[in-house]
Amino acid sequence: MLKIIELNHQKLKSQQIVDFAYTENLIPKYYEFYEQWLARKLNGSIQYLDTPQAAKRQSIRNLFAECKSALVFLFSHLEMKKYLDEQAYKNKMAAFVLGYDGIDYHHHIRKSLNAIIKDHFFYTKTVVCVDTMPLLERDLAYQAGLGFIGKNSMLIHPIYGSQVMIGTILLDHKLDLSQKMVVSSGCGDCQNCLQACPTNAILSPFTVDAAKCISAFTIEQMKRLDPPQGFKSQNYIFGCDACQNVCPFNIEAQKKVKANQSGEKAAFIEDYFLKNELPSIETRLNQLSNHAYKKQFKDSVLERTGRVGMLKNIEHLTD
């Protein structure tokens, strides 16, 4: 086993890392459930989940054959969530869009984890994973003891809630680190998320129909298709936090942080989409070329969805 150099907790905090854990449990607990979910075609517009790559998620070693262990990190955007709640904008976006200074969380996580590797694991083979990799990252975080799976299928940390993104470093060695206890469940009899979903996308506890999910529709569906029934009730133009807003763990977690908005890109997105009326935003987007849109929103999560995808979201709200 290799010893890990003590990670600087203040440095982790500056990267919005609120917790991390070590695990040698590399076989997903919920892979069979995931297979059944795909077989029912509940992935909707999230087509990349149902490809030949999907089978790789059965074992981390399908992704990284030499893998012996993993460090799993949670990156929080809870301070941004609290800021947006206090602003109470009529137009809404999921908090992760403006979190991390408005930079695409994939970029932020990769940069942060690569810096940790450079400082501590330069001597060993590693693979950095975010949610674009064929890895069941919520399952891995659960097995690492970083939380439990909620009835809305989100990972819920007992202290920091579910307003987190997951980043992982896979290693080809075991480390001399203790492993956290797995938190088996925390929802109890709570049904808040099921009752709060405006489109009834949570079919039953732990089962989400992505075809009905506002988040999936606004982010993954780039064609001009009809939205799920109930879409207009929330005024979300990108992403959706409806099920997370009512989670008792998130409500408690938010009481412990200060509202914070930071980053030029976050401020630009806020000004563009949240401080203007929808018809005005629609006009501006119609006047942009696709190239100009991508240039304006480069390195944000809005870049991938594209101008046409964002127009689709807004047009359905203004119909």
27, exposed or middle or buried, with CB in 10 Å at 0-12, 13-18, 19+?
exposed
DSSP 202: E
Note whether 129 and 57 are within 8 A (CB). no
Share of the chain above pLDDT 90, in %: 84
Report the pLDDT value the prediction gives residue 50, as an integer from 0 to 100. Answer: 80
| Tens-place pLDDT, residues 5-39 | 566 677 788 899 999 999 999 999 999 999 999 99
**List of long-range contacts for 251-255, beta carbons under 8 Å, 24+ apart:** 252/161, 253/78, 253/157, 253/159, 253/160, 253/161, 253/163, 254/78, 254/81, 254/82, 254/85, 254/161
Q: Which residue has the higher pLDDT, 143 or 2?
A: 143
Mean pLDDT of 66-91: 97
Mean confidence (pLDDT) of the chain = 93
Q: Which residue has the higher pLDDT, 60 or 222?
A: 60
Q: Amino acid identity, residue 89?
A: Y
What are the residue numbers of the active site?
A: 131
109, exposed or middle or buried, with CB in 10 Å at 0-12, 13-18, 19+?
buried
The answer, yes or no, to whether residue 2 has pLDDT greater than 60, is no
> Each residue of 289-303: b (16+ CB within 10 Å) or e?
eeeebeebbeebbbe
CB neighbourhood size of 177 (10 A): 16
Mean pLDDT of 69-87: 97
Report the pLDDT value the prediction gives residue 314, as an integer from 0 to 100. Answer: 95
Query: The pTM is what?
Result: 0.94
Mean pLDDT of 101-111: 98
Name the helix (H) or strand (E) containing 294.
Answer: helix 290-296
């403006």: which residue's tokens?
Answer: 98
The answer, yes or no, to whether residue 232 has pLDDT greater than 70, is yes
The answer, yes or no, to whether residue 109 has pLDDT greater than 60, is yes
> Quick one: pLDDT band at residue 148, thresholds 50, 70, 90?
very high
* Range with the poorest average pLDDT among 18-22, 51-55, 274-278: 51-55
| Tens-place pLDDT, residues 158-172 | 999 999 999 999 999
The answer, yes or no, to whether residue 304 has pLDDT greater than 80, is yes
